Structure 1
Amino acid sequence: MEHNKVRINVFHTGQVYVDPSVPRGEKNPFAFTGLFRDKSKRLWLPVSAYLIEHPQGLVLVDTGWNTLVRTEEKKHLGYASISDRARLPEGEAVTEQMKRLGYHPSDLEYVLLSHMDLDHTSGLSMVKEAKHIMCSEEEWKDTKKFPIRYKNYWKETEIERFIYEPSHYGPVNRSYDLFGDESILLISTPGHSHGIFTVQVRNSGKFVLLIGDVGYMRASWEKQILPGIVADKKAEVKSLEWVKKMSEQEDCVEILANHDQEVVPHVIEL
């Protein structure tokens, strides 16, 4: 189904300070922790979130940092503060950027969590008034199975879980159709985590892919550069190959990775 207009607002909701092995994995499987490594080489990467203005409802993809990191950074990050840092300039919180567009968290039909890592879920408490907050069932199970990886920012938030359905979309042919018209598809792209999804937004014969942390930059899919944190290497390679194939389609408008330093905030209209 084609809609009159779909608008994607690309936000930067602060930055995360990480070891260079996070966007570019290396042989040392623990390099991403940054422990015993040269801190002068660390990188500040943007933390992106996306507000989709869709005729069937307002959709937020990921939440970025909570305003608590401005005053309680170490407390909010918990054990993750050993290896990571966060910063959130005034006006960049997802709710502050929504307010400038005239929206309140209660206006959100959906909050979609591409996966449950802390820089994607930190701001959950700020948008808990949304009608639906969702992640995949597989990702939810991993938060229980691997608690050392995930910081529980959702303990006071009701998270709905969806189950991927067989489809002809994505590297493993599984997806979830948010509105039932294929205008917003949550496409299973495992590797970085088991339940992670890419959001495909399609309208007017064109599409945009929001790939979360499937890759950290354009070179990730163009040169097969895997992220430093990988739950399933074989699946990650397959997912990046699929992203590259999609990037070569004539109807592809943009592919956006959450932490790409080359991406600046902008608006996409389909």
Structure 2
Amino acid sequence: MDKNAIKIHILHCGTITIPANMAYIKDSALKRVTLPVSVYLVEHPVHGKILVETGLSADCNEVMPKYLRDFYRPQVEKGQTAKEQLAAMGIRPEDIDLVLITHNDVDHTCALKDFAGKAKRIVMAEHEYFWSCRTVYRVRQVWETYMPYKDIIERPFYFGTAQGPIGRGFDLFGDDSVLCIACPGHTDGQMAVMINKAPSGRFVNAADGIYGNEFAILASDVAFSQRNIDDLVIPGYGFARKRQRKSIQWLKTMQADPKCVGIFCSHDANVTPQTIEY
């Protein structure tokens, strides 16, 4: 057994049912597709338990305003929330070392209240926290799901790096193990999360595919599915199409790296709940 192994548990914490062309622009706008809302529990040998996203809460239909309920049609069954699924694994909110939010759309922040004040740390990018909520992206956010915790949320700034579609991000622990890569387009401040097997030099070296060990990328809503990456087709709702395409192209480039163990999109119906270990 590798004591330095990283485990990523993919949890489906409810579903949304959205117009099909929102997930894949070539699909008909006349039908809807039901997609999972993914949350990731990362068990790291050094940094403990990291929860990426929080998913839908049990009361998501009360939390969302009517226009968002009508758009998302959220559903979460008993036992499906992140808190409940973690409890089934013997993990309490107090056992979570860090909650990381990739962007502030309501399907990612809805259940933050289940962990705020209990998890040891909560982190989201300052650019997302301060800026996206003051722009057109506000339409998909519900401030009440995260603003009450503004005094305990850590908000690092993105800075210049050698990695990512726009060369900006931050190193979550300062040791190259978890890299938060700015991937704008779906929102201005959205990140993808690169989880490296060992210190890799990816943040300080300019070439992809040369340095480092195995890695996985939690791609958030940069792409909705593998189809977006394969075909370079931009998901249907975003307001910066050129940036979205650039971010998806970066995922495609990273996926070609033989050290990439997987790229996981938050709403990919073809990705089942599972545990990835490397």
TM-score normalized by the length of structure 2: 0.87
> Partner amino acid for 2:97?
E
Could you tell me which amino acid in structure 2 is paired with residue 138 of structure 1? H
* Long gaps (5+) in structure 2: 199-212
Size of the alignment, in residue pairs?
255
Structure 2 CA distance, aligned partners of 1:210 and 1:148? 24
* Deviation by residue 1:156-182 (Cα, 9 ceiling, x = unmatched): 223221111211111111121111111
Residues 1:60 and 2:51 are matched in the alignment: yes
Residue number in structure 2 paired with 1:34: none
Aligned residue number for residue 234 of structure 1: 242
Distance 2:8 2:36 in 1: 17
CA distance in 1, matches of 2:32, 2:14: 16
Of 18, 40, 63, the match for 1:76: 63
How much has 1:122 moved relative to structure 2?
0.6
Matched, 1:265 2:273: yes
Name the residue aligned to 2:140: 149
- The match for 2:35 is 45
The within-5 A match list for 1:149-228 is 149-152=140-143, 153-158=145-150, 159-203=153-197, 205-228=213-236
Q: Which runs of 5+ in 1 are unaligned?
A: 32-36
Partner SS state of residue 132, structure 2: helix
Q: 4+ residue stretches of structure 1 with deviation over 3 A? A: none
Q: Deviations over 1:36-66 (max 9, x none)?
A: x64xx21110000101111222111111100
TM-score computed with the length of structure 1 as normaliser: 0.89
- Residue 196 of structure 1, CA deviation: 0.5
* Partner SS, residue 155 of structure 2: strand
By how many angstroms is 1:113 displaced? Answer: 0.8
Give the share of equivalent positions with the same residue, in percent: 32
1:86-125 superposed matches below 5 A? 86-125=74-113
Counterpart-to-counterpart distance in 2, 1:8 and 1:226: 26
Please identify, of 251-260 and 223-232, the stretch whose mean Cα deviation from structure 2 is larger: 223-232
Q: Matched residues in 2 for 1:130 and 1:26: separation?
A: 41
Secondary structure of the residue that 1:11 maps to in structure 2? strand
CA distance in 2, matches of 1:182, 1:233: 30
Report what 1:138 is aligned to. 127
Pairwise CA RMSD of aligned residues? 1.9
Say yes or no: does 1:23 pair with 2:23: yes
The answer to which of 120-129 and 140-149 deviates more is 140-149
Matched position secondary structure for 2:174 = coil
